[in-house]
């Protein structure tokens, strides 16, 4: 079952990379899921350091909200999200992202975009809604 969900998520991710598609980010205008902050700047990090980031969110919709799947996007990042937990309108939760700089292949500026797949269908696209969170890092030796 997990492999079917993962395949479905990858299919959505590929379609989301199409420039004609738009991924709605957690923002002030997001009527479903608001992250505050939605982007974290880690600044300069020395290779070997581990950085943990917390992305608090609020269900800003009038319906229940569930996270179906969370994807860190790379091997240097791990994500922990309350998958399948039901959040009622106005309820809060958090997504935790851990960056392992020793797993990063190259030094320099990086921007990472973990994705959150919701158990809610976008009425415009007919696909599950996807939300992004981001972090920036300048990795040095």
Task: Please state the domain extents for the chain.
Answer: 2-140
| pLDDT, average across residues 15-27 | 38
User: What would the pLDDT profile of 87-120 be if each residue is shown by its tens digit?
Assistant: 999 999 999 999 999 999 999 999 999 999 999 9
Please report the pLDDT score of residue 14 as a whole number: 40
Tokens of 20: 């004609």
Mean residue pLDDT across the chain? 84
Whole-prediction pTM: 0.78
- Is residue 26 scored above 90 in pLDDT? no
* Neighbour-count burial of 129, counting CB atoms closer than 10 A to its CB (0-12 exposed, 13-18 middle, 19+ buried): buried
Residue 37: is the preceding peptide bond cis (ω within 30°)? yes
User: What would the pLDDT profile of 40-90 be if each residue is shown by its tens digit?
Assistant: 999 999 999 999 999 999 999 999 999 999 999 999 999 999 998 999 999
Contact partners, residue 34, CB within 8 Å, separation at least 6: 26, 27, 28, 57, 58, 60
Please report the pLDDT score of residue 29 as a whole number: 55
Tokens of 101: 């700089």
Residues in the chain: 141
With a pLDDT cut of 70, the percent of the chain lying above it is: 79
- Which CATH code is given to the segment(s) 2-140? 2.60.40.10
């Amino acid at each position: 079952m997990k492999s079917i969900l993962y395949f479905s998520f990858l299919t959505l991710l590929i379609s989301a990379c199409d420039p004609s598609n738009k991924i709605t980010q957690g923002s002030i205008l997001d009527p479903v899921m608001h992250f505050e902050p939605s982007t974290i700047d880690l600044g300069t990090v020395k290779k070997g350091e581990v950085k943990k980031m917390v992305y608090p969110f609020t269900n800003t919709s009038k319906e229940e909200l569930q996270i179906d799947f969370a994807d860190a996007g790379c091997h240097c990042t791990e994500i922990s999200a309350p998958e399948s937990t039901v959040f009622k309108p106005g309820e809060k939760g958090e997504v935790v992202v851990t960056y392992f700089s020793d797993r990063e292949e190259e030094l320099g500026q990086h921007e990472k975009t973990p994705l959150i797949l919701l158990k809610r269908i976008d009425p415009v696209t007919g696909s599950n809604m996807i939300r992004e969170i981001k972090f920036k890092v300048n990795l040095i030796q």
